[in-house]
Structure formats: C-alpha cells, structure tokens
Amino acid sequence: MSKILAGLIVTILFFACQNSYGQDFPFSGRINSDNINLRSGPNTNYESLDSLSKNTKVKVVAEKFGWYKIAPPKSTAYFISADYVKKSSPGEGIITGDNVNIRAKPGLSATIIGSLKQGVKIEIKNVHGGWYEIYAPENSVYAWVFKKFITYDPPAQEEIPPKEEKQLQVSITKLRAKAANSPIASGKIKPMGIFFRRKGSHKLMINDETAYYLKGDKKALNRFAGYRVNLYGKIDPDTANGGIPVIEVERIEPVQ
C-alpha cells in the first residue's frame, strides 16, 4: 500500500469518527422540532418506533447516510417473542433464550433492532398475541433520527456555589501570597566578566553551572558574591523562552 493511499485512509477514518458539529461520538443533542419520527433504520422505509417532541435530550452514537443513530428514550417500546420470556411478576419477565431478537413491531417480518441475552430482566408494557411489548434495557437497542432534526447540545458549565467560590478565592489568595514569599531560585552568586555584563552584572550558579543571569542592585549582589543565597524577584519575560534566563533581583537572603 502506498504512503499516499495509507494517509488517505487515515484521513477518511478520522472524519468518519466525527459528526457535522465537529464533535466526536458519542455526544449529547436535542430534538429541534416537534413530532419527529424515531425509526428502526437510517431511512424513511424503516418502521417508526416513536415520536419525539422538541427539546427531547438524546445521546448520539453514530451517523450513517445523513441519519444519527441514538440511544432511544426509555419510554420507547419494542417487541419480543413471548416464547423466550418467563414472566416473573406482573409487568416483569426474564429472557429464557440466548441472543433473543428485539423487533420494531410484533412479527417476524419486523426489523431486528437489538438482542437480549439469557437471564436479562425486562419490563413488560403490553401483550400483542404471542409478542410482548417491552421497555428495552439500557444500551440494548438503538434507533435513528434524520440528522437535521438534532442539534448539538454542549455540556453546561457547572456553576460554583457562592460559598465554595469564596473559599476558592481565599485559597488562590493564600497561594499567591505564599508564592510571593518564596524564593525564585537558590544558588551561589558570582560576578560576570565585563564582556557579558550586557546580560547582567552577576550570575547564579547551581551545581557549578550557570543557571541564571542576575540584574539588580550591583552593590548588594557584590556583597553576597561567593555565598549561597535565596533570590526573590521575577524572570525577565524577554529571556524566559530561550537561552539562560535573567532574574530581576528584588531581594537577597543568605542561606544559613
């Protein structure tokens, strides 16, 4: 396989995993019109399972042929053969077969939209001859809605309660105060040669290597030359992204 073809396949797979809103599947959406058909497959030839009202929240898991595959509302009813259900109590039953088909309508000609394993408990809504109308367990079935009727519903930003927000602000203030009282660096001060003084008058050595150039009160820096110190101040932003950074020294504290 050529590199060009391989790259094309990767690109197609990437976009196939995204929807028209640029969101990865699954995502949350809302029905944007009233009386929208929920169907058993991705076109209008499939059975209508339910009618969804405007602002109904849905979970979209895939897209095919311009239709979104969704996890249907719990209220949507489906059908299963009574031959594979043992009633355990009024309105409830247990699946007795393995991989028993869930269908869109009562009858073997109806679309298969899922299956249930042996031992799964189901809620029975009604009886239609030899078929039970059931509420399917979560994640056992999916249905389809024409995608223009679903609008992406971004997750709501969680609001911080006033009490917690106040506590957060207090914590931030304390952290800032602690940072202001913490040294920016520790090491041994050494004077720099005349040639290098355009960067700073001194340098800070850490493990016998130049870690920072220093700018500030030269008399104070000379006074502590050769000593191990804690330095307080800030990094010159123009030197923070490359080479040896420069500390604008505001206070020097000898290390005891």
Q: Where do we find the tokens 């800070």?
A: 204
Q: What is the pLDDT of residue 174?
A: 63
Q: What is the pLDDT of residue 82?
A: 92
Q: What is the pLDDT of residue 14?
A: 44
Q: Does residue 3 or residue 208 have the better pLDDT?
A: 208
Q: What is the pLDDT of residue 176?
A: 60
CB–CB of 95/62 below 8 Å?
Answer: no
Q: Does residue 243 or residue 232 have the better pLDDT?
A: 232
What is the secondary structure of 10-53 as a DSSP string?
Answer: HHHHHHHTB-TTSPBSSEEEEE-SSSEEEESSSSTTSPEEEEEP
Average pLDDT, rounded, for the chain: 81
Q: What is the pLDDT of residue 9?
A: 44
Task: Give the number of other Cβ atoms within 10 Å of residue 142's Cβ.
Answer: 16
Q: What is the pLDDT of residue 23?
A: 60
Q: What is the pLDDT of residue 192?
A: 83
Residues 6+ apart with CB under 8 A from 188: 204, 205, 206, 226, 227, 228, 229
Q: What is the pLDDT of residue 15?
A: 42
Q: What is the pLDDT of residue 13?
A: 45
pLDDT digits (tens, 9 = 90+) for 163-197: 666 676 766 666 665 556 788 889 999 988 765 55
pLDDT digits (tens, 9 = 90+) for 197-236: 567 888 999 888 888 889 889 899 999 999 999 999 888 8
